[in-house]
Every structure is written in structure tokens, then in C-alpha cells.
Amino acid sequence: MIIENQAGAYLGPEPELLSHYSLTEINPHFDVLENDDTRLVLAKCSRLPDDEDPAAGRYGIDFHRALPPFDGDSGFTCDWGDGPIQVNALNFARFLPRTIRFRQFTANLAFAAPSPATYQAKCQVYENFYQQVYGAGQPLVITTPHSGPVHRPPDDYHPFPESEIDAWTARVAVRLGRPQLKKNRRLLLSLHSTDYFGALVDIGDFGLAANGILPEIVGHLNVEFSDALAAVQPAYRDHIISYTQRRLQWKQNRWGTLHPEQLANVSTASRFEVMMLDKLTGGFIRQEERFTYDGLRRGLEAYWSGGGQVQTSLNGVFSGRKTAQLLNLAENLPRAGFHTAVQVECSRFLARHYPETAAAIITKLLALLSERLP
């Protein structure tokens, strides 16, 4: 129902989809499709700040980060050995591509901007995206903020640029059923994908009080979809262990270390990835092995063999709580008439090969959330 590239990025709708949705907005950065029940806001631009074509009006914008100040104080600083600098749009651009190594920039700011004119142009795109989200009249709004293609070639600063695509998420979004949202509840779903080692589906609560009912709902999902996901897990295991080992091997060969303290000086994204892996595997290996390639490799196998993996988790990969603060969801959601929002991180393996299963789980999540909201 949609056009995707080989990496799983969303490029546009197929005619079949337009028999179910009206295409109400199309631009280089996102499409908006809607019917009476649902609005889809599907990103088409890259989230990487230097992956853009200004002549074509296409910018690199991460819609799940805060609108940055141009050259002022964002509340964050970064120090890579030359003294602290302000984390803002101008410095993000001035020090590219070096700055994409540092999560102080990539985890906080929506874009880089070398000039006031570029800054204003990107602000307009960013604000238009959220006007489409918050201005929707439908009871359900679904966004895929990172589903756009990456054109940037690999380099020493970003050796795996296509890993920044939340691949295959748009195919899941357009397959979601129409959950019966009870009590006139309005919901916002932010849909992502990941290849971090862990659950096939991870739900983030955004730290919102209304989502205190999610533990019960996740328990229900694990029971209802146990058989469907159990059938997927052997193939997923083979994929994710091999994939993770290849990435660890590359990092070890490239930087000569997998220790988080040492990775922090060269790639905070890699440091984060290793720390996420250690959360799951650290208990299966000796302390002195935790951040070695051989130790982590054995930890991957031991974690899976120990039967500790879960199929659907809550806040196991990304809770979305920091993003909720960056986007001020606690105030913006009720102001726009939403009762709550959830973030779903779907395994790229599941989204690519079993999108109907992923969509069924998310559809049930939304129905239960609506039903059980106070």
C-alpha cells in the first residue's frame, strides 16, 4: 500500500492506500493521509542534520527532538575535549559532521542551521509537522517521525547512516486496524523501529500519568499474542544475534574498545548501544567480560538460551520520557484534546517480515488503552 526503498524508508502512498485515505498534505518532509477515524503523518525526510538538499527544499529534521534555539542557550552543553560549547542549531551546523557523533546534539535538537534564514525555513517545516499532529480532528493520530530515507553516504562520523531510518514503520502504520476508541478518547501513537537487542515490541509510556495502566495492558498483550510471536522468535533470534555481533565486531575493529567510558570520546551513540546491550546481557557473564567483544558475544547467546527474553516489553528500549520533556507533551496533549500518547518501538525484523502481526498488536494496544483510560 506504500512505496518503500530497499532500506525500508517511506517514499509515498500507492493508489490502493488512497482508496482508504485522502492525501491532504504532501511535501518533501512528510505526507498526511486521513479518513474519518485516523490521521497518518508519515515522515519522508532524513533525521540526520547534514542529509539534505536545500535546493530541493528538503532538510534533515528529527521531528522527535526539541525545536532548538538558533545560537542561544538550550540548557545543554557538549565538551569533546576543547571545552564546553552550547548545544544549539548554529553550533550543530558549525561542527558538522563531527557533532553527529555526540548525543548531546542528536538526542536533543531537531536540526542544525548555519544561518538565520535556514533556521527559519526549518522551523516552519517543524511547526507545520506538529500543526498536522495537534490540529487533527480524528480520534487517532499516528506518526512515523523517522521513516524517511537517508541519502548520506557512510563516513568515519556515521558509518551506518541507514540505521537512522525507522525502517518499515510506515507499512505497519497503514495496516493498523480501526481500534474502537471508547469514551470519546483521543490517542496519539508515535511509531518507531529498532534493531537493538531485546523484545520484538517495546512500548514507551512517555512518562505520562494516564499511562499508569500500561503494565496491565502489556501483560494482556503478552498472553494474547504469545503464540504468534513465539512462531517468529527462532528466526528473529538468528537475525538479531548475527546483526548485533557484526556491529560489535565493527566497533571493536574501528575503535579498539567496547568500553563505554572509552567509546564516549569517539561515539556517544555507540556507547549508548553497548550500554543498552549490557542491560540485558551483563548478568550472564563475568564482570571483567562485560565490555569485551568475546564477553558480549557470549552474553548474547546466554541471554537467549536462558529464556529471559520477553516478547512485548514496557519501557525496555526507549520509554520516550526524555522526548516527552523535549516536546512538552504533558501540556501540549491536553491542550490539543488528546487523552494520552504512547511510543511503540517495533523490531525492524517484525515490521519488515510480519507487519500484520505488528499492526495487530498495536491495534489491540490502542483499543485496550482507550477502554481502560480513567
Q: In this model, does residue 177 exceed pLDDT 80?
A: no
Domain parsing of the chain, residue ranges: 2-47+126-227+312-372, 228-305
Cα distances (Å, whole numbers) of residue 252 to 256, 269, 288? 5, 14, 16
**Cβ(108)–Cβ(56) under 8 Å?**
no
- Listing from the earlier edge strand, what are the strands of the sheet with 187-194? 22-26, 30-34, 38-43, 140-144, 187-194, 340-347, 201-204, 312-314
Using the predicted structure, report yes or no on whether residue 289 has a pLDDT greater than 80.
yes
The CA radius of gyration of the chain, in Å to the nearest whole number, is 20
Place of cell 498488536: 361
Residue 292: strand, helix, or coil: coil
- Rounded to whole angstroms, how far apart are CA atoms 18 and 221? 31
Nearest alpha carbon to residue 266 among 150, 114, 159: 159
pLDDT of residue 80: 87
Band (198; pLDDT cuts 50, 70, 90): confident
- The predicted model gives 78-90 an average pLDDT of 93
In the block, which residue shows the cell 511509531?
191
| Contact between residue 167 and residue 308 where contact means Cβ atoms under 8 Å apart | no
**Grid cell in block for residue 262:** 572509552
Q: From CA 35, how far away is CA 47, in angstroms rounded?
A: 27
Q: Per the structure block, which three cell numbers stand in for 144? A: 512515523
Cα dist from 331 to 57, 315, 339, 340, 362, whole Å: 31, 21, 11, 11, 25
- Closest by Cα among 347, 38, 5 to 177: 38
Residue-wise pLDDT for 113-152, tens only, equals 999 999 999 999 999 999 999 999 999 999 999 999 999 9
How far apart (Å, rounded) are the C-alpha atoms in residues 288 and 281? 13
Report the relative pairing of strands 187-194 and 38-43 from DSSP bridges: unpaired
Contact between 61 and 110 (Cβ < 8 Å): yes
The pTM of this model reads: 0.93
Name the H helices within the chain. 89-94, 103-106, 116-134, 169-173, 214-224, 226-255, 260-263, 268-281, 293-305, 321-327, 329-335, 348-353, 355-372
Average pLDDT along the chain: 93
Strand partners, 13: 2
What is the C-alpha to C-alpha distance for residues 218 and 241, in angstroms, rounded to an integer? 25
Contact 89, 62 (CB under 8 A): no
Kindly tell me if the per-residue pLDDT of 93 is higher than 80.
yes
pLDDT winner (highest mean) among 25-34, 96-105, 197-206, 308-317: 25-34
Please give the residue that has the higher pLDDT: either 317 or 123.
Answer: 123
Q: What is the pLDDT of residue 295?
A: 92
Q: Tell me what pLDDT residue 62 has.
A: 98
Looking at residue 308, what is its pLDDT? 65
The mean pLDDT of 227-242, rounded to a whole number, is 92
Helix 293-305 × helix 268-281 angle, to 10°: 40
Q: Identify which of 28, 25, 33, 30 has the alpha carbon closest to the alpha carbon of residue 1.
A: 33
**pLDDT tier at 11, thresholds 50, 70, 90:** very high
